[in-house]
Amino acid sequence: MLQVGIIGGAGYTAGELIRLLIHHKKVKLNFVYSTSNAGNAISSVHQDLIGEMDKKFSNTINTEVDVLFLCLGHGNSKAFLEKHEFSPTTKIIDLSNDFRLEKDKIFKGKNFVYGLPELNREAIISTNFIANPGCFATTIQLALLPLAKHSLLHYDIHVNAVTGATGAGNSLSKTTHFTWRDNNFSYYKPFTHQHLGEINQSIEQLQSSFSSTLNFMPNRGNFSRGIFATAYTTFEGTLKEAKQLYTNFYRDAAFTFMSDEVLHLKQVVNTNKCLLHLHKHEDKLLISCITDNLLKGASGQAIQNMNLMFGFGEKEGLQLKATYF
């Protein structure tokens, strides 16, 4: 049984990580570290775990664990690793954006691999350090990478994506308050979202000649979880040819699937799946892509990466049914 530690245990992604890990057959949760909740029952914060576990948040860290998940706010993972040293055999999976970009991937001798399994599977298997992708970034990359693989992104790309309230984290703010969010819809960070860097980086990894503009409009939805993204760009082939490109690209993917039916979010909420649907209109190819922002967009993908790193079945602990009804 692998010994697992979690740093930063009170947020949404940590809560989902704990929920999945306590039912994973290959691991044992060694500690969940939280400075704000040390000594409190984990189930008092993550109340969906009442009756599932009796462990408390810890104010101490076991530096000898087999795998460490960092669920800290963006910018805090580097600061934490500056202060704490772990066993040379400890594998680290960071869920922040601290190590995702090429310029940030090497830190204190640790070479972080960008943890998108559909793109970097072999590198993930052989590394000890993972930079887990962002939620919007995961969804949008999975929508576009099959085209990049064949150097077919020659024109500007337009992406409109909406995320649930959990995408903003569990700290209260004006735009997460129920009375603001309910029956409401808005955009934020138009054309400047922080995930654009990692999206462009992955596209260029497959299509080095990519020089077009990725126009990204992120939106806030009045639901709790999930991402629904639509992307369109000029595509000179047929719909049949596009479907074949995508089918071939994701043929061996454990969680990414093509659908001939129009998508809706309930198909993926509470799962580690990504579903894709293609539509052709004149010279435009429309790609729809859906994920659960807390699972495939965060904690589920982190466990998928752990499974690959330790040679487990890729779906171990992630065989989840969507909350469809």
The CATH number, out of the four listed (3.40.50.12780, 3.40.50.1820, 3.40.50.10490, 3.30.360.10), of the domain defined by the range 135-291: 3.30.360.10
Q: CB within 8 A of 208, min separation 6: which ones? A: none
Residues forming beta bridges with residue 7, ordered by sequence position: 33, 70
Contact 83, 107 (CB under 8 A): no
C-alpha 155/C-alpha 312 separation (Å) is 40
Question: In which residue ranges of the chain is pLDDT below 70?
Answer: 168-173
| The pLDDT value given to residue 214 | 97
| The pLDDT value given to residue 101 | 97
> Which CATH superfamily does the domain covering 2-132+298-309 fall into?
NAD(P)-binding Rossmann-like Domain (3.40.50.720)
| Model confidence pLDDT, tens digit, residues 149-177 | 999 999 999 999 999 988 766 666 677 77
Report which residue type is found at 128: N
C-alpha 272/C-alpha 319 separation (Å) is 8
Q: Which residues are catalytic?
A: 135
Each domain of the chain, given as residue ranges in start order, spans 2-132+298-309, 135-291
* DSSP line for 98-158: TT-SGGGSEETTEEPEE--HHHHHHHHHH-SEEEPPPHHHHHHHHHHHHHHHTT---S-EE
Contact 156, 213 (CB under 8 A): yes
C-alpha 55/C-alpha 299 separation (Å) is 20
| The pLDDT value given to residue 171 | 61
